[in-house]
Structure 1
Amino acid sequence: MNPGYYMNIKVFVNCSRKDKDELLWQNLKIQLTPYTAKHNIQLWNANQDIKPGQNIKQEIDTHLQAAHIFFFLLSADYFSDSRCMQQHQQALMRQQQDKESVTIIPILLRHCSWEDADLENIQLLPLDHNPIASATDPDKLMRQVSQEIRAIIEQRRSANEVHTQPSQSDQARATLTSSSEHKKKGNSYTNPAPVINASVFGNNYGQIINNHGSNFSNGGTQAREFRVSNSLQQDEIMDIGIIIALKEEFAVLYADIANSCEAINDIDTGEYYYQFERPSRANTRPYRCIATFIGNMGPVKATLQTQKMITRWHPSTLVMVGIAASLNADAKVGDVIIADQIDAYLDNAKAAPMANLEGYELKFSGSVYRATGSLIKAVQHFEFSSPTLFQSWQDQSKVAQQQLLAAQYTELIKAGLLREQAQIIEGHIASGPIIGASQAFQHWLKTHDRKYLALEMEAAGLMATVYEQTSPQNTLVLRAISDNGDEAKKELDNIGNGLLRRYAMGNAIKLLWGLLEARLLPQHA
């Protein structure tokens, strides 16, 4: 590390484009001005410092790479702003690569769900986690925050004056680039750096049974090898990127790929990925696929995971696969919803006073995203363009019913929860941070869009990220119905310890395999 590294400190300010957040930032900036001016600290904010005629993306990228310190100005609008989320993720990746040179300072402007934003190991300001906007004396609190920021910068300045050895990221790069053999094996690249033996998920994940009776680690306690990857290795561009929310859902996909996938620990993103191939029509090359799971529910985590996948793997098509709650009587358990419209229904919602002034009501605004039209049309025609594969999908669904739901099958059919043959249904889905388990909530949602077919929590995060890309990826959202999102949700979830969820997830995954085999999704040239 260069001892003079912090002589001219550059700070990247990541703030939403909402006026109330910008105003809070301006007031905090005023408190910081004596210190930043004295020490030649440069504060750069994309919302204010990009001049007319400049390339927005180029300017942001340049300052992201040059910054020593990042201010994350947290609010609900910050997490719903896709540009903020891109900058957020890139900053976290930079810090992971070089902890000695990059400092992140999250500052809580307004109440929000910051706990889901990969910040658990970073000190948040204010120290008591009370938002600046809620303070009885905001100026006093801002002064305290500015003093904490000064202390952090001074501490890092002192530390960097004595650190002269290469960072961990530099050492990793040296290890990777000094090796003379990056041998290509099949369609993947093996790294001659140490291969780590590890149980990828460990015994805590238990025996997660799917529709083939397999378990997640293909043997319970069996250890497998995974390779350490780095974005400086030869570029590995994927045709299909698959993002799944929860571990239990990923377990169903993993059962199909366990014997053919390569597990990859990517040191740049800190994520685990699973690379594999899926066959397509005869005499054509297979699809190169990369899959991962988020590990939690909600749009913020989905946004971060999507940006990581795009940055690392450049997939031609991103597919969100998972389960959802039905919002329409025509959508039964096991049916797969192809989302042509994804509505982030709580985006920019307004808490407005009721007429009697004794309470408030939420008024919708929302952000609407549309999946790739050509892919929607291809799925619409799947039944007729590839009848054999479509019938195979329905047959596999029927077998899964018999294997998983034998004891409850007749009862579920009589109750109108299940069909004898699963169907593909195209339509709108509601996407947001709320788990639906109430008919009253359903009725409220449908005052916004009566055409909603299903409710889920992650697709809007994926779509918002893709919409911000210079060259957006193709997108496809497959959501299989697992419950009705009403008061009976818990009861249905408890059937066979989640049998309906596994059955639904299996239907969504088998449909994706059928679409790939029919060669209905694009590939990189």
Structure 2
Amino acid sequence: MTELRVGLIVPLSEEFGYVSSVVDLLGDFREQGRVYHSFLVPGTEITGLLTVLHEMGQSNAAIAAQDLIRVFGVPLVALIGTGAALSSEVALGDVVVASEIDAYLHRAKAVGEAEHPGGAGLALAGTSWKPSAPLLDLVRNFPLRKASRDVVTAWSGDALARCPLPVGLRPAAGPGLHVAPVATGDVVVGSDTFKAVIRNKNRTLAAVEMEAGGAALSAYHSDTADVLVVRGISDHAAKDKTATDLTPDVDGRPNAWRRYAVTNATRILLKLLAAPDFPWRATSPARGPVSPAPPRRPEPGPSRGDGAESGPAVDGRSPDGRRSGKGWLDGRTVAAVTSGAATALAVESLLHRRRDIEEALSAASSPPAPEAGSHAARTESADGPDGSDGGSHP
């Protein structure tokens, strides 16, 4: 039985092209204004949902991560794409997995040079997040353990063999895997001076990117999901960034380093997710209202004439135009079935759960009308039941 366990965030459509060349996408569907692509982690029964931001930045990633966690209940949000090296030990094409996510611009202060010499007029403060200890332990030991070190060696060798760069630009060795702190902020870093500012704040930072802080913040506030940031290194965060990005591949297509970096990152991410001892957080049914919900009242609707109730329309609305839980489920199930039976079962299970919660909330907010003359009914009407709150690169 397949199980939906990972939500994958890809910042840009360009990066989606590289990721989809590695991940076998089963199909797609739209939910609450966002398109999701379903996929299966090779060699496992783990399914995932991938979504593309189409724009860079922390806030976009935060919203996407929140949707994946709240709507689908995924216990892991993974973020993949390009990153820029801050450390001289990190080469183009290498992959950095974040051991710490440093939002270096958080609480930054603009100051004069006299107040902060050499700081380019910006005094950094920052805040940070980390993956859970079990997840970080797995990633750090993945290249070292007997069961997985050969996997990493083979990944690096295969990556070099697939490298799309011309012979004169091809790296001498396959990509390295680094587990190190990553800087995140809403700035495209292409300046040696600004790069030095970031490094001066935290000399252990290996790379910089633009979305991890948002995804990490949503996972942190959920208290149910972990976060895994995997970045392929495509430039040095220096003045030559544009030229590096435009480097052509053997077929003359630009962005060869970006393609190489993201495909390397995607392949090692899939290897990590397929680890038999991957520390998935336990999932539990989403919490409904605190107080018991009153019994459901049947919704009025026209009959088909054969004694059976008419079902919802294909667009997920009931015959009277209102969206129903059943219609929402049917529409998503149809989309999932076209994506493959395995994904359908996983997604449908989650949607059943969500439908039940939505119906309970709806019933709780609209209790049956009290009978006239009933003291208990009059008291309930006066007090009223409590309502429930609704939930909110370089």
Residue 490 in 1 paired to residue 245 in 2?
no
CA distance in 1, matches of 2:116, 2:6: 51
The match for 1:388 is 150
Instruction: Verify the 8 A CA contact 1:300 1:461 in the aligned structure 2.
Output: yes
The match for 1:399 is 161
The match for 2:127 is 367
Instruction: Verify the 8 A CA contact 2:132 2:226 in the aligned structure 1.
Output: yes
Q: Aligned match of 1:434 in 173, 183, 187? A: 187
The match for 2:40 is 277
What is the Cα deviation at residue 395 of structure 1? 2.3
What is the Cα deviation at residue 357 of structure 1? 11
Instruction: Verify the 8 A CA contact 1:321 1:508 in the aligned structure 2.
Output: yes
CA distance in 2, matches of 1:478, 1:518: 16
Residue 466 in 1 paired to residue 219 in 2?
yes
What is the Cα deviation at residue 391 of structure 1? 2.4
Describe the shift of the 1:360–1:405 C-alpha distance in structure 2 as closer, same or farther (beyond 3 A): closer
Q: SS of 1:495's equivalent? A: coil
Q: Aligned match of 1:509 in 255, 258, 266? A: 266
Q: How does 1:266-345 map to 2 (within 5 A)?
A: 266=31, 269-280=32-43, 286-345=45-104
CA distance in 2, matches of 1:380, 1:514: 14
Alignment RMSD: 2.3
What is the Cα deviation at residue 343 of structure 1? 0.7
The match for 2:12 is 246
Q: How does 1:63-142 map to 2 (within 5 A)?
A: none
User: Which letter does structure 2 place at the counterpart of 1:464?
Assistant: L
Describe the shift of the 1:395–1:353 C-alpha distance in structure 2 as closer, same or farther (beyond 3 A): closer
Q: Aligned match of 2:232 in 480, 502, 511? A: 480
TM-score by length of 1: 0.49
User: Which letter does structure 2 place at the counterpart of 1:366?
Assistant: G
User: Which letter does structure 2 place at the counterpart of 1:308?
Assistant: D
TM-score by length of 2: 0.65
The match for 2:202 is 449
CA distance in 2, matches of 1:503, 1:361: 36
What is the Cα deviation at residue 244 of structure 1? 1.1
Deviation string 1:267-308 (CA, Å, 9 cap, x unpaired) is xx201101121234xxxx511111111111111111111111
What is the Cα deviation at residue 356 of structure 1? 7.6
Deviation string 1:283-339 (CA, Å, 9 cap, x unpaired) is xx5111111111111111111111111122111111111110000110001111111
User: Which letter does structure 1 place at the counterpart of 2:148?
Assistant: S
What is the Cα deviation at residue 493 of structure 1? 0.5
The match for 2:109 is 350
Which 4+ stretches in 1 moved above 6 angstroms? 356-360
CA distance in 2, matches of 1:388, 1:331: 21
Describe the shift of the 1:448–1:360 C-alpha distance in structure 2 as closer, same or farther (beyond 3 A): closer
Q: SS of 2:107's equivalent? A: coil
| Percent identity (aligned) | 26
User: Which letter does structure 2 place at the counterpart of 1:352?
Assistant: V
Deviation string 1:336-381 (CA, Å, 9 cap, x unpaired) is 1111111111111112344389998221111111122222221222
| More off after superposition, 502-511 vs 242-251 | 242-251
